[in-house]
Amino acid sequence: MTAPYDPEDREKVVAKLPAALRQELKVRAAQLGIDIKDAVTEGVHAWREDASAAMQVDTSGGASFATYLPTGLYAAFKDDCKARDIAYNQGIAQSIRLWLDTHPLTGRRRPEAEGARRIVVCNQKGGVGKSAISNGLSQALAETGARVAVIDFDPQGHLTRHLGQEMLGIKDPSLAKHMLGEADGRIRDLLVPIEHGALAGRLFLMPSCKDAFLLDAKLATTRHVRTKETALEKALEELEKEFDYVVVDCPPSLGYTMDTALYYARTRDGESPRSSGVVIPVQAEDTSADAYDMLSEQIEDLVDDLDIEIAQLGFVVNLYDGRKGFVVTSSLDSWKSFGDPPVITVIGDLKEQREAVRLKLPLLHYAPDCEQAESMREIARKVTS
């Protein structure tokens, strides 16, 4: 039967749902790689087709939840709620519960043979939000049930502080020392668990250390690795055996440090195309474009010199505010015109990320329903699909 509406013609719908149900929906949709609006739409279809499949849901203490349903479906659903003599909020809650119950997890989707997927977050300009994107993306991946190691590779340590952790001492073992063969012990011992809600047991941080400021100079003379570009990969090799994703937050660097990160993101022999690669945070202004030109040249040089492939998974246009006028809106159009790499998502200049940083809490734990959190989930879906 053909639906009497265009599924792409949607309208915003708002309901009041309990926090636990909202969170379960967001997490399950992320785990299965499905947009929330599509999950709710499927649930509403199932609810309308079989009234006996629905069960009463406790909606007490509900808070606002917004999504989008096809326009014709929304009207028909409201009529069905009225015919069944139940409140609209209860109907939406039952539909979501029905979708959750009929879409259980089926385990990890990553083939074991491919090992950990590696996502390097980089650009040659500071202040574009590399740490915020690395942070949020890692949280969104962990929310799906994956085990994620996020590496603060920037000696400034913004990511480390965002998550409320201390930077490693200058004389302590660190990632840089492991890369140079100067550290004792296992690199696994440097990881700090991020124990917040759904992230507990799944998200682990490797804190920054200021000794990374010296990494470029030391890589130039080290004999610990035959090829300097492989230093990061060799140091992190142990972690790939126990994690599904390794996310690397890079400093703005044109030197060996960035080369090691870009090499780490390359497509390895036998690995699916775009399974790993780089995510590029930018802003809607000209200096981000200039910085990307430098990054693109560095990637091309590495690809040519070492005969490798490095997938550019896409741009994240961060801190966007269209109210700032033509320069901002036209710059966004320019990013979108690239086509490849694509614009993964556009993240507004909103308060929740700044609040989470101030409180030293993961964004997806502090404000799981905010627009920025949804954007982080969208990045996770698109770069892993």
> What percentage of residues in the chain have a pLDDT greater than 90?
63
Which of these ranges, 5-14, 298-307, 348-357, has the smallest mean pLDDT? 5-14
Q: What is the pLDDT of residue 111?
A: 47
State mean pLDDT over 204-219. 90
Is residue 224 predicted with pLDDT exceeding 80? no
Q: What is the pLDDT of residue 105?
A: 67
State mean pLDDT over 367-372. 90
Number of DSSP helices (H) and strands (E) in the chain, helices first:
15, 10
Q: What is the pLDDT of residue 108?
A: 46
Measure the CA–CA gap between 107 and 112, rounded to whole angstroms: 12
State mean pLDDT over 370-380. 93
CA distances, 95 to each of 16, 98, 100, 253 (Å): 13, 5, 9, 49
**What structural domains does the chain harbor?**
10-101 (1.10.1220), 112-384 (3.40.50.300)
Which of these ranges, 158-167, 185-194, 218-227, has the smallest mean pLDDT? 218-227
How many other β-carbons are positioned within 10 Å of the β-carbon of residue 343?
A: 16
State mean pLDDT over 100-120. 72
CA 194, 108, 30, 126 dihedral sign is positive
Question: What is the residue-averaged pLDDT of the chain?
Answer: 89
State mean pLDDT over 97-118. 73
Q: What is the pLDDT of residue 32?
A: 81
In sequence order, the 6+-apart residues with CB closer than 8 A to the CB of 371 are: 347, 348, 350, 352
pLDDT tier at 382, thresholds 50, 70, 90: very high
Distance separating the N- and C-terminal Cα atoms of the chain: 30
Encode pLDDT of 297-336 as tens digits: 999 999 999 999 999 999 999 998 888 889 889 999 999 9
Which of these ranges, 8-22, 347-361, 363-377, has the smallest mean pLDDT? 8-22
pLDDT tier at 8, thresholds 50, 70, 90: low
Measure the CA–CA gap between 239 and 236, rounded to whole angstroms: 5
Q: What is the pLDDT of residue 5?
A: 46
Q: What is the pLDDT of residue 28?
A: 83
State mean pLDDT over 105-120. 67
State mean pLDDT over 32-42. 89
Which residue blocks in 181-285 are alpha helix, DSSP H?
A: 215-219, 231-236, 256-264
Q: Which residue has the tokens 């090499």?
A: 263
Encode pLDDT of 184-206 as tens digits: 899 999 999 999 988 989 999 99
